[in-house]
Protein backbone atom coordinates (compact mmCIF):
# COMPACT_ATOMS: atom_id res chain seq x y z
CA UNK A 1 0.00 0.00 0.00
CA UNK A 2 1.43 3.41 -0.87
CA UNK A 3 2.30 5.64 2.09
CA UNK A 4 -0.56 8.03 2.92
CA UNK A 5 -0.57 11.71 2.03
CA UNK A 6 -2.17 12.79 5.31
CA UNK A 7 -3.25 11.54 8.72
CA UNK A 8 -6.12 13.18 10.60
CA UNK A 9 -7.13 12.62 14.22
CA UNK A 10 -10.93 12.47 13.97
CA UNK A 11 -11.54 12.98 17.67
CA UNK A 12 -12.31 9.28 18.16
CA UNK A 13 -9.81 7.61 15.82
CA UNK A 14 -7.67 8.14 12.75
CA UNK A 15 -8.45 8.95 9.13
CA UNK A 16 -5.84 8.10 6.52
CA UNK A 17 -5.88 10.04 3.23
CA UNK A 18 -4.19 9.50 -0.11
CA UNK A 19 -4.11 12.42 -2.54
CA UNK A 20 -5.42 11.03 -5.84
CA UNK A 21 -5.17 12.60 -9.29
CA UNK A 22 -8.73 13.64 -10.26
CA UNK A 23 -10.55 11.11 -12.45
CA UNK A 24 -13.95 10.40 -13.93
CA UNK A 25 -13.29 6.65 -13.98
CA UNK A 26 -15.76 5.93 -11.21
CA UNK A 27 -15.78 2.15 -11.74
CA UNK A 28 -12.02 1.92 -11.16
CA UNK A 29 -12.27 4.33 -8.23
CA UNK A 30 -15.02 2.18 -6.68
CA UNK A 31 -12.87 -0.95 -6.95
CA UNK A 32 -9.89 0.87 -5.42
CA UNK A 33 -12.00 2.15 -2.51
CA UNK A 34 -13.55 -1.28 -1.92
CA UNK A 35 -10.05 -2.75 -1.86
CA UNK A 36 -8.85 -0.20 0.69
CA UNK A 37 -11.84 -0.97 2.93
CA UNK A 38 -11.18 -4.72 2.65
CA UNK A 39 -7.42 -4.41 3.17
CA UNK A 40 -7.49 -1.90 6.02
CA UNK A 41 -10.70 -3.02 7.71
CA UNK A 42 -12.26 0.41 7.30
CA UNK A 43 -15.87 1.35 7.86
CA UNK A 44 -18.30 1.31 4.96
CA UNK A 45 -20.20 4.54 5.13
CA UNK A 46 -20.88 7.69 3.16
CA UNK A 47 -18.66 10.76 3.19
CA UNK A 48 -21.51 12.82 4.66
CA UNK A 49 -21.68 10.48 7.65
CA UNK A 50 -18.03 10.11 8.53
CA UNK A 51 -15.74 12.74 7.02
CA UNK A 52 -14.22 14.81 9.79
CA UNK A 53 -12.17 17.70 8.47
CA UNK A 54 -9.34 19.25 10.50
CA UNK A 55 -10.73 22.17 12.48
CA UNK A 56 -14.16 20.57 12.87
CA UNK A 57 -15.40 18.76 15.98
CA UNK A 58 -16.63 15.25 16.70
CA UNK A 59 -19.52 15.64 19.17
CA UNK A 60 -20.32 11.95 19.64
CA UNK A 61 -21.22 10.46 22.07
CA UNK A 62 -21.22 13.22 24.69
CA UNK A 63 -17.79 14.88 24.71
CA UNK A 64 -16.93 17.31 21.90
CA UNK A 65 -13.46 16.45 20.55
CA UNK A 66 -11.49 18.47 17.98
CA UNK A 67 -10.36 16.97 14.66
CA UNK A 68 -6.73 17.76 13.89
CA UNK A 69 -4.31 17.34 11.03
CA UNK A 70 -1.60 15.15 12.56
CA UNK A 71 0.66 14.74 9.56
CA UNK A 72 0.83 15.93 5.94
CA UNK A 73 3.14 14.94 3.07
CA UNK A 74 2.05 17.33 0.31
CA UNK A 75 4.46 15.77 -2.18
CA UNK A 76 2.70 12.39 -2.04
CA UNK A 77 0.25 12.21 -4.94
CA UNK A 78 -1.12 9.07 -6.54
CA UNK A 79 -3.14 7.75 -9.46
CA UNK A 80 -5.70 4.95 -9.30
CA UNK A 81 -3.09 2.68 -10.89
CA UNK A 82 -1.08 2.95 -7.67
CA UNK A 83 -3.93 1.11 -5.92
CA UNK A 84 -4.66 -1.51 -8.61
CA UNK A 85 -3.02 -4.28 -6.59
CA UNK A 86 -5.62 -3.88 -3.83
CA UNK A 87 -8.69 -3.29 -6.03
CA UNK A 88 -11.71 -5.56 -5.57
CA UNK A 89 -15.31 -5.53 -6.81
CA UNK A 90 -17.48 -3.27 -4.63
CA UNK A 91 -20.26 -4.96 -2.63
Q: How far apart (Å, rounded) are the C-alpha atoms in residues 43 and 56?
A: 20
Indicate the pTM of the whole model. Answer: 0.74
Q: How far apart are CA 58 and CA 61, in angstroms?
A: 9
Instruction: Check residue 48 and give its pLDDT.
Output: 57
Rounded Cα distance between 42 and 5, Å, is 17
Q: What is the reported pLDDT for 70?
A: 96
Question: What is the pLDDT, as a whole number, of residue 4?
Answer: 94
CA distances from 39 to 1, 32, 52, 76, 87 (A): 9, 10, 21, 20, 9
Q: Is the pLDDT of residue 50 over 70?
A: no
Amino acid sequence: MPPPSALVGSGRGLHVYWRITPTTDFATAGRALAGLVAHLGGDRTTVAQALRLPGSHNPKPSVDRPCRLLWLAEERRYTLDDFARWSVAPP
